[in-house]
Structure 1
Amino acid sequence: MVGPRPGLRRDTQETRDRLLVAFGELLAESGPTFGLPELARRGGVATATAYRHFETIHDAHHEFLLQLTDRLTDRLTGRLQSVPPTWTPRRRFDAACERWAEQAADWGPAAVHIRSWRGFLERVHLGDEPTGALYAALEPIVRDLIDQGELPDQDVEYAVLVWITMFDERVIVDLRESKGWPVQRLARVLGRSVLSALGGTPT
């Protein structure tokens, strides 16, 4: 999980966090067209300070992507831990979809500009920690849907990949900006599309 770095002083960590916030703002505004000097200016620090945190702008790209994945996983896990144990697998799936859409609507305008060149399952198999944590949050929901007959028996990795693909932040941002859909509608429609694609019967 991406979080405060061990050994960093509090003020140093706060500066790093501020630079990552600035990175997201610049990315959403203009895409990946800026360098560390521009990042430093937006973050309100000296250029030398930015270079102490990130050797290159690509290092900032990488850490920002890890932070987004980590945040999504935390929000999904927290939401699922808060639901009553009596909830059906379908209600847990719907709750996860809504929380996912909320998060993607928030950071999607920045995230659409940065993509890993590796596939999702490839990163899981390679042991990428944030991607593996996200998979671990989604996989039990899919298994429960299969066990309860909401989905036919199938390859669980494939099913999670379809879910990930359908909730791509580019899709969510496009529907928000082009169609004006609220988060609840995004979650409902995309969730039903996931179930349909996997052979389920949306209700």
Structure 2
Amino acid sequence: MVRERSVHRKDALRTREHLLDVIGELIEEHGPGFGIPDLARRSGVSAPTVYRHFKDVAAAIEAYQSRLVARLADALHAVPDGGAATERLWRMCDVWVAEGERWGAAAARVRPSTAVVARLRSGNPRTAKLYAALRPVVDALIEERAIPEQSADYVILMWFTLLDERLLLELRREFGWSHEVVVEQLFEALLAVCRAPAAHLRIASPGQ
């Protein structure tokens, strides 16, 4: 009996993961303009089963975005701590660009309408998860004087801005840049912005 329940849970998890993969495909093609019947047809899963996982399209998109951010955060946390902070920053940029190349086309079509800092202030769990992954390397950059002392929130806002999935896709598709060139360019751009000596960069974070 216990084994049967375990098998059932594993089957349900596999079905959910398959549905989330298909949700990403539908978002990339149609944005949020698809229905549960479309998801059922594309995935080969019955509509009643789809509804057991997601009550509506909004819930399906929310689940897709949550998985996307969780995977990105896990990949960032997996970056080794060793070496100089700038080396860690480069490795994290590499990870971010690689992830963005996979899901950027879909994510760009269902971006949050709220600004990054506002999401941080409100305790948005997805933004908080990424912030927690990025903050240690930002602190290390300041501690090692790779960048001047300044608001960590500002640095992370610049990170979100420069490594936006829309920019990644533009550079890859329209400029024809390789993954390596995109990583190097955005890594250098982020460092340059954070090294700017202007006094206003050293002001407190918005929430302080």
TM-score range, shorter chain: 0.7 to 0.9
Looking at structure 2, the residues matched to 95 and 192 of structure 1 have their Cα atoms a distance apart, in angstroms, of 13
Looking at structure 1, the residues matched to 67 and 105 of structure 2 have their Cα atoms a distance apart, in angstroms, of 15
Q: Which residue of 2 aligns with 1:167?
A: 163
Residue 185, structure 1, aligned to residue 181, structure 2: yes
Looking at structure 1, the residues matched to 55 and 158 of structure 2 have their Cα atoms a distance apart, in angstroms, of 36
1:6-155 aligned within 5 A: 9-79=9-79, 82-83=80-81, 85=82, 87-155=83-151
The 3-state SS of whatever aligns with 1:107 is: helix
Looking at structure 1, the residues matched to 72 and 181 of structure 2 have their Cα atoms a distance apart, in angstroms, of 19
Shift of 1:119: 2.2
What's the TM-score once normalised by structure 1's chain length?
A: 0.88
Distance 1:191 1:200, change over 3 A: farther
List structure 1 segments (4+ residues) > 3 angstroms apart after TM superposition.
none
**Paired residues, number:** 190
Q: Which amino acid aligns with 1:104?
A: G
Shift of 1:199: 2.1
Q: Which amino acid aligns with 1:107?
A: W
Looking at structure 1, the residues matched to 40 and 117 of structure 2 have their Cα atoms a distance apart, in angstroms, of 35
What's the TM-score once normalised by structure 2's chain length?
A: 0.86
Shift of 1:196: 1.2
Query: Higher mean Cα deviation, 130-139 or 161-170?
Result: 130-139
Shift of 1:200: 5.3
The 3-state SS of whatever aligns with 1:108 is: helix
**Structure 2 portions without partners, runs of 5+:** 1-7, 198-208
Q: Which amino acid aligns with 1:167?
A: L
Q: After superposition, give the CA deviation of every residue in 1:39-74 in whole Å (9 maximum; x if it has no partner).
A: 111111111211121111011111111111111001
Shift of 1:127: 2.5
Q: After superposition, give the CA deviation of every residue in 1:134-163 in whole Å (9 maximum; x if it has no partner).
A: 101111111111111211111111111111
Q: Which residue of 2 aligns with 1:156?
A: 152
Looking at structure 2, the residues matched to 128 and 164 of structure 1 have their Cα atoms a distance apart, in angstroms, of 15
Q: Identity, % of aligned pairs?
A: 35
Q: Which residue of 2 aligns with 1:197?
A: 193
**Structure 1 portions without partners, runs of 5+:** 1-7
Q: Which residue of 1 aligns with 2:203?
A: none
**Conserved in 2, the CA contact under 8 Å of 1:150 and 1:200?**
no
Looking at structure 2, the residues matched to 35 and 94 of structure 1 have their Cα atoms a distance apart, in angstroms, of 40
Looking at structure 2, the residues matched to 147 and 88 of structure 1 have their Cα atoms a distance apart, in angstroms, of 11
